[in-house]
Structure 1
C-alpha cells in the first residue's frame, strides 16, 4: 500500500545542540536504510519549513505505524497520513 505522509518537526528550543545533532544523524541513517530497501519510496523537503512530504510503500497501516513510531524524531513530529490508490486516469501501469 502507498501512503502520502507529511511530517513536521518541532524540536524544543531548549534542546542541547549536540543532542539535536545526534537525533538528526540517527534519523538520517534510519530513513536512508528504508529508502534503500524501497519502503520509503520518495522524500521531499518542504521549502521554508522543517518538514517533508514522503511516499511510503508498506504492507498495511500497522507496518506504517511501526516505521513512523521508530523514527528518532517521532516524539517531536506532527504527522499527517493519507492512503493512496491508483487514479483511473493515470497513464502509468504501476506505482513507480
Structure 2
C-alpha cells in the first residue's frame, strides 16, 4: 500500500549540537536502509523548510506506524499521512 507522508522536523534550539548531530546521523542511516529495501520509495525536501514529502510502500497502517515511530527524529516531527490509491485515469501500469 502506498502512503504520502509529510514530515515537518522541529528540533529544539536548546538541544546540544552534538546530540542533534548524532540523532541526524542515525536518521540518515535508518532512512537510507528503508530506501534500499524499497519501503521508502521517494523522498523530497520541501524548499525553504526543514521538512520532506515521502512516498512509502508498505504492507499496511501498522507497518507504516512502526517505521515512522522508529525514526530517530520522530519525537521532533509533525507528521501527516495520506493513503494513496491508483487513479483510474493513470497511464502508467508499473507504479501501483
Q: Which TM-score bucket, shorter chain as reference?
A: over 0.9
Taking structure 1 as the reference length, the TM-score comes to 0.98
Poorly superposed stretches of 4+, deviation over 4 Å: none
Q: Map of 1:2-81 to 2, 5 A cutoff?
A: 2-81=2-81
* 5+ residue gaps, structure 2: none
Taking structure 2 as the reference length, the TM-score comes to 0.98
Aligned residues: 96
* 5+ residue gaps, structure 1: none
The one-character-per-residue Cα deviations of 1:30-81 (angstroms, maximum 9, x if unpaired) are 0000000000000000000000000000000000000000000000000000
Aligned-residue Cα RMSD (Å) equals 0.8
